[in-house]
Amino acid sequence: MDATTKTTNEQSDGYRDDCVFCKIVAGRIASTEVYEDDRVYAFKDINPKTAVHVLIVPKKHADNVAELAARDPETLADIVAVAQKIADDSFHGAYRLVFNTGKDAGQSVFHAHAHVLTGEVLPE
Ligand code: 5GP
Ligand code: ZN
């Protein structure tokens, strides 16, 4: 194997061709945009669990929130700020922010994402 052979599907810009959220960020899979800036993209969850259910993802692939926090804490802070803005706009600033991490905790897409759950009073 020469030095240029890729051992994963990750390209130099972080795009992974086997990752559904990389494809959404790239516009190769359609999504309903809620917010976008240089670092993050937010879109409606296809299977909403609450009145407002938005996913916020880093544009550059990370497998989960711990990897994102270690590698790019500014983007993680941006995700929290965007969650607050979505909740300010839709439900007087109240929201639940969930990062499922690991298959046995319910993570099914292995590109870091925050679930913003808001738009209604949530059970404790
Ligand atoms: P996880 O189970 O990994 O914490 O969350 C993944 C979320 O992504 C689920 O809530 C699921 O409904 C959502 N999801 C999976 N595929 C798509 C898709 O193609 N488009 C959108 N908008 N949401 C998706
Ligand atoms: Zn990805």
93 CA → ligand 1 middle, Å? 23
Whether the CB of 108 sits within 6 Å of ligand 1: yes
100 CA → ligand 1 middle, Å? 11
Mean pLDDT confidence for 55-69: 98
- Residue nearest atom 8 in ligand 1 by C-alpha distance: 45
Q: How far apart are CA 41 and CA 23, in angstroms?
A: 12
The distance of Cα 105 from the centroid of its chain, to the nearest Å, equals 16
The H or E element spanning position 36 is strand 33-36
pLDDT at 12: 66
Atom in ligand 1 nearest the alpha carbon of residue 44:
22
Residue 1: which pLDDT band, with cuts at 50, 70 and 90? very low
**In this structure, what token pair is assigned to residue 100?**
């499922």
pLDDT at 80: 98
Whether the CB of 101 sits within 6 Å of ligand 1: no
Number of neighbouring beta carbons within 10 Å of residue 39: 17
Domains of the chain, first to last? 20-118 (3.30.428.10)
For residue 51, the SS3 value is: coil
For residue 44, the SS3 value is: strand
37 pLDDT above the threshold of 60: yes
Ligand 1 pocket test, pick from 19, 41, 55, 57 with the greatest ligand atom count within 8 Å of Cβ, gives 55
Tokens 């194997």 locate to 1
Q: To the nearest whole number, what is the mean pLDDT of the chain?
A: 94
Is 113 catalytic? The answer is: yes
